[in-house]
Amino acid sequence: MFTRGLTGSVLVLLGGLVVSTLPRSTQLLQVGLLVEIRGSEVGRMAGLTVVLLGLGLLAAAWLALCRHVAVAVGAERDGALVLVRHAVVVWSAPLLLAPPLFSRDGWSYAAQGTMAHVGISPYDHGPSVLHGPVVQAVDPMWMDTATPYGPLPLVAGDLFADVTGNPWILAIGHRGVALIGLVLLAWAVPRMARWAGVDPALASVVALASPLMLANGVGGLHNDLLMVGLMAAALVVAAEHGWALAAVLGGCAAAVKAPGGLVCVAVALVSLPVLATTAERLRRLGGVAVVSLGTLVGLSVVTGLGLGWVGGLTVPATVNTPLSLTTLVGGAFDWVARVLGTGLPNALFLDLVRQAGTVTAAGVAVWVALTWPTGRREPALAAVAVVVGTLVVLSPVVHLWYFLWVTPFLAALRLGRVAASGLLAASVVLGLVAPLDSSLHGAYLAIVLGSMLVAVLVPVLLLTRSARNRLDKIVRSRWLAVP
């Protein structure tokens, strides 16, 4: 099980060196064989195949670990949580030194941190103001775009740029920052699971070691991992130590990416007395808001970066992604309008449906804040899952790594059989399809080949009789009722 997962992770690393975008000046591109492989269609297809096979091995090892944890008894059950954490370390290790995988966001982080270091505001300018290796692998789509991120990742990038200008090392530094979020989840998820009566080891293996996490969180090194780690820590601190420090952590989560601040709804709920009145709710929500926003604004001011991140909040919505429900629905309405020759403006329904989705998500957050049970830990955990999950479903733009926002909270909840099976299946599929996301812009042959391989791997991992029996055993044994 451990060897299979480690082998898969190594294959993802090796294949990633072929399919990932690298700066032209990187020393690795001086290796003639690698250059030949990357320069040929056959070589790139072989690299993609290696990546997908590696992800398949990781998925198989993860499902085996889930089953082992679910059926463990006696001494094995007592050591299950340590076993899970050991697996996370072993399976993540080969990816730590990898370039940004399956997305170029890591290269953008390196460039934005360098901009902050040389005194150029990433909120006013795109990476195109820089020259040299640090911008060679940045996605051209974002070269002239200001960053939508808060001050914390930019401060980290500034510190890294003070040490080196090598973009690969800078990206690895940002992966280290992202992995702080993984450490926070390793601390928080078992505690949240105990609130809901779920096996802490099973919740941890689902939240920490899945293909979704390893491919998009560790390999992709997205800021979202640090954000969700701070969110989970804020919720646990609110339940166990009080709301003030938790609100500070919620503000720090928002200082990574703005959606992180949504955890403050649950911070207020769990810290209130049972059956709190509406007036008590409003006072506590106001107090949490003041502290969290004060933390966010304070970090923006103290770091010297200012509040430019507010204007950057609309940046992600400038692209259309196939995982966004509101984008798909709005686009479909616009297509029908064009076919019918209505003469309506282009993207009219796209904008309307997206705005409706955003308003609905905000309405759900308000509804939860004003009506959800107070003073109880499990409902507060469910509140985060509902509020954040609604935002992901209705967001105008959704990438694979956005599902990291909600997975740890779902994994710690008592789920029904269908929901638990769906979570396991989604964690596999969203990991397997990671190479088919934005890292393969325009590479239609690679996308077709990758889709075919995923279409083979998914039935083997999830739909065969033995796979269904394995999933059923995981769900039945520990998720629904654990003392």
Residue 157 lies in a domain: yes
Residue 54 lies in a domain: yes
Residue 341 lies in a domain: no
Q: At what angle do helices 278-302 and 263-271 cross, to 10 degrees?
A: 130
The answer, yes or no, to whether residue 88 has pLDDT greater than 90, is yes
Tally of domains in the chain: 1
Taking residues 21-43, report their average pLDDT: 88
Alpha helices in 433-474 (DSSP H): 444-458, 465-474
The answer, yes or no, to whether residue 163 has pLDDT greater than 70, is yes
DSSP 102: S
The answer, yes or no, to whether residue 441 has pLDDT greater than 60, is no
Of 293, 301, 211, which is closest to residue 258 (Cα–Cα)?
Answer: 293
CA atoms within 13 A on the CB side of 474: 30
DSSP 470: H
Task: Specify the pLDDT at position 148.
Answer: 87
The answer, yes or no, to whether residue 408 has pLDDT greater than 90, is yes
DSSP 412: T
Residue 344 lies in a domain: no
Residue 337 lies in a domain: no
The answer, yes or no, to whether residue 32 has pLDDT greater than 80, is yes
Which pLDDT band, with edges at 50, 70 and 90, does 377 fall under? very high
The answer, yes or no, to whether residue 370 has pLDDT greater than 60, is yes
- pLDDT single digits (tens) 280-291: 999 999 999 999
For 111-127, letters b (16+ CB in 10 Å) and e give bbbbbbbeeebbbebbb
How far apart, in Å, are the Cα atoms of 83 and each of 93, 190, 301, 319, 477? 15, 13, 43, 41, 18
Taking residues 66-93, report their average pLDDT: 89
Average pLDDT, whole number, for the chain? 90
Range of the domain at 28: 2-327+349-479
DSSP code string of 50-93: HHHHHHHHHHHHHHHHHHHHHH--HHHHHTHHHHHHHHHHHHHG
Percentage of the chain lying above the pLDDT 90 cut: 69
The answer, yes or no, to whether residue 476 has pLDDT greater than 80, is no
Taking residues 163-168, report their average pLDDT: 94
Of 169, 168, 156, 171, which is closest to residue 117 (Cα–Cα)?
Answer: 156
The three-state secondary structure class of 10 is: helix
pTM of the model: 0.93
Task: Specify the pLDDT at position 346.
Answer: 87
The answer, yes or no, to whether residue 439 has pLDDT greater than 90, is no
Taking residues 155-177, report their average pLDDT: 95
* Between residues 361 and 141, the one the model is more confident about: 361
Task: Specify the pLDDT at position 437.
Answer: 67
Integer-rounded Cα radius of gyration of the chain: 22
Residue 127 lies in a domain: yes
Task: Decide if 46 contacts 14 (C-beta within 8 A).
Answer: no
- pLDDT single digits (tens) 242-261: 999 999 999 999 999 999 99
- pLDDT single digits (tens) 38-52: 888 888 888 888 999
For residue 98, give both structure tokens: 């990898």
Q: Please give the Cα distance from 296 to 298 (Å, whole number).
A: 5
Residue 289 lies in a domain: yes
Taking residues 204-217, report their average pLDDT: 96
- pLDDT single digits (tens) 294-350: 999 999 999 888 888 777 676 666 677 888 999 999 999 999 999 988 888 888 999
Q: At what angle do helices 167-196 and 200-208 cross, to 10 degrees?
A: 150
Task: Specify the pLDDT at position 483.
Answer: 38
Residue 343 lies in a domain: no
The answer, yes or no, to whether residue 64 has pLDDT greater than 80, is yes
Task: Specify the pLDDT at position 482.
Answer: 45
The answer, yes or no, to whether residue 186 has pLDDT greater than 90, is yes
| Number of Cβ within a 10 Å radius of residue 136 | 16
Taking residues 61-69, report their average pLDDT: 91
Task: Decide if 413 contacts 381 (C-beta within 8 A).
Answer: yes
Which pLDDT band, with edges at 50, 70 and 90, does 200 fall under? very high
The answer, yes or no, to whether residue 80 has pLDDT greater than 50, is yes
Q: Please give the Cα distance from 106 to 397 (Å, whole number).
A: 19
